[in-house]
Chains A and B, each alone.
Chain A
């Protein structure tokens, strides 16, 4: 599914990722934890293709393609999805229209028939119920004036509509109340399948009680410094990151 090899990336001449390697097979859920500023969001940005981040070394293969060669929108159409830590507000662009444009683009690329406006609106309504996002949010501007939790639900809504191969969730649990966390986790769990993989970035072991990962990695100073199974998350919760310092160096 995804194979990251010795990835090095910088932003504004500052090295952030320093030789990161990670292998993800279809159907797997990988949790990534790590201190603030370690480069977790940067990894998401680099995988999604954000221009400001330049890859200085390494390679990324995604479903047999050289991911780094693809444009941002091509990556999305190939099935890569990044749920943002801080989703962007786009006033004036209706959420419904945005969702349709997005689903149209992805389906077209994948050779699936286009949904009619009516079909699409039905689908969007049903899906928004699943993430407990009120209909009214479909009519509003993209994320415009949404609360933190509503923005995250909107991200999950998009993920469900786009049915990606690989979902990267960047701190989707931050700022969520218990009910919202359950909703988001239910959404993710409903989408788990033998063909779909997840990278779940989080600071909290709590989320991993709901979304049980196959692997847990610690990302520190631009590298994966430790990998383990779900018990590693519990250990981190108890001990923090300092005991890993030796491995960071």
Chain B
């Protein structure tokens, strides 16, 4: 075991509430202890080093009476839950509908649900940080929308990291949608400042029964110091629908694993993502789409801009099982390097065991279109500014597909700032264009 592993385990062992999570914590601790610390030869961690994380002196979450700055919050009509360093802050959170509870407010039924489902998708024997998150598990959210019902407002989960210590955050989100049920879930991760150095091992599991449908956002907007080692694990029943959007600005390391399994025919996955590390930030997306049964579709599009000495890893795996005939699977990953010291490791992985499938797969390092640069210059725009505008455009193309307008309008100025652009116009365009 690595030093960090030993230290993290010690911390995890001191967690004891709620008691009904004891078994989960014990299982997580055992598995975490049994998993060798990743190195460059570990398949899942080939391109990303955990050296930075290993240097952190982890602490247990500190309860901090800090309010999340208003400007950091998305203007949503939603059920908002604010976790500060993984601890629920009631004062900043909304009261919840019956379908949603936090681990501190669960009823018997919800406890049973968590006990039976937690870890069923985020397999702690396979995923190191899922194991850690089980071992240290105390807080989380459970959503259970019963058959035919719809969560009337989006659930908005804010994960705020703050304080000087590097704390171990292990928040869980468990979503169970019954037959034909619908929900929209927005997970946002932010940190107070660039020095804040939490390890956020937040795992989300989503069970979609037949015909259920979820819109999911995972917004990793943490700053430089954060190590995020999280995942989104989804199981889709017949004709179920997962519509996901992911964004990562960059941090010490922002790693997310997406594992999506088509378990009923007619299921569809739509997953879009953007990342834009700069400075010395690192972003790592590992996505794994498992087509287990026939007649399913998936469409995955990720785009990244990597600047300065930053690094991004995109590992996109599509596994089409023998029975998954008539599968339609598309995956595209385009990357733009804006500095010659920036690095991208993009690796498509196809495993196809069915013969009657359509699978399109492309991973590229893109270049700005000379023709378009020239066009902008003929309008008086400098080459430098034209490049910035087009880089932003490269990401913005995907941002424009975001279905939740409040989320889109929240992200645009953040991106604009990232690209050093004037955002007053954007804001005007978004908000008051029609009234002018």
> In the complex, how many residue pairs between chain A and chain B have their CB atoms under 8 Å apart?
110
B126 CB to nearest A CB, Å: 37
Please provide the chain B residues from 388 to 431 with a CB less than 8 Å away from any CB of chain A in the complex: 389-390, 392-397, 400, 421-422, 424-426, 428-429
Contact A97 B395 (CB under 8 A): no
Does residue B379 face the partner (Cβ distance < 8 Å to A)? yes
Contact for A98 among B371, B389, B394, B424, CB less than 8 A: B389
Q: B436 contacts which chain A residues (CB < 8 A)?
A: 118, 121-122, 125
Contact B425 A117 (CB under 8 A): yes
The answer for the CA separation of A229 and B393 in the assembled complex, in Å, is: 46
Contact A102 B381 (CB under 8 A): yes
Q: B6 contacts which chain A residues (CB < 8 A)?
A: none
Does residue B380 face the partner (Cβ distance < 8 Å to A)? yes
Contact for A139 among B380, B389, B429, CB less than 8 A: B429
Contact B374 A51 (CB under 8 A): yes
Does residue A72 face the partner (Cβ distance < 8 Å to B)? yes
Chain B interface, number of residues (Cβ within 8 angstroms): 32
Q: B393 contacts which chain A residues (CB < 8 A)?
A: 90-93, 141
B397 CB to nearest A CB, Å: 4
Does residue B76 face the partner (Cβ distance < 8 Å to A)? no
Does residue B90 face the partner (Cβ distance < 8 Å to A)? no
Contact A105 B428 (CB under 8 A): no
B71 CB to nearest A CB, Å: 19
Does residue B109 face the partner (Cβ distance < 8 Å to A)? no
Contact for A96 among B381, B400, B429, CB less than 8 A: B429
Interface of A is mostly: helix
Q: Contacts A97-B389, A121-B436; is A90 near B376 (CB within 8 Å)? A: yes
Interface of B is mostly: helix
Q: Contacts A92-B400, A118-B436, A122-B436; is A97 near B426 (CB within 8 Å)? A: yes
Contact A92 B425 (CB under 8 A): no
The answer for the CA separation of A48 and B375 in the assembled complex, in Å, is: 10
Residue of B nearest to A100 (CB): B425
Return the CB mask of B262-279 against A: 1 if under 8 Å, else 0.
000000000000000000
Does residue B64 face the partner (Cβ distance < 8 Å to A)? no
Contact B392 A162 (CB under 8 A): no
Contact for B379 among A49, A102, A117, A121, CB less than 8 A: A102
Q: Contacts A90-B393, A91-B397; is A98 near B374 (CB within 8 Å)? A: no
**B interface vs A, CB < 8 Å?**
369, 371-372, 374-383, 385, 389-390, 392-397, 400, 421-422, 424-426, 428-429, 433, 436
- 5 further contact pairs, Cβ within 8 A, besides A93-B389, A102-B376, A117-B428: A76-B378, A92-B393, A94-B396, A97-B389, A121-B425
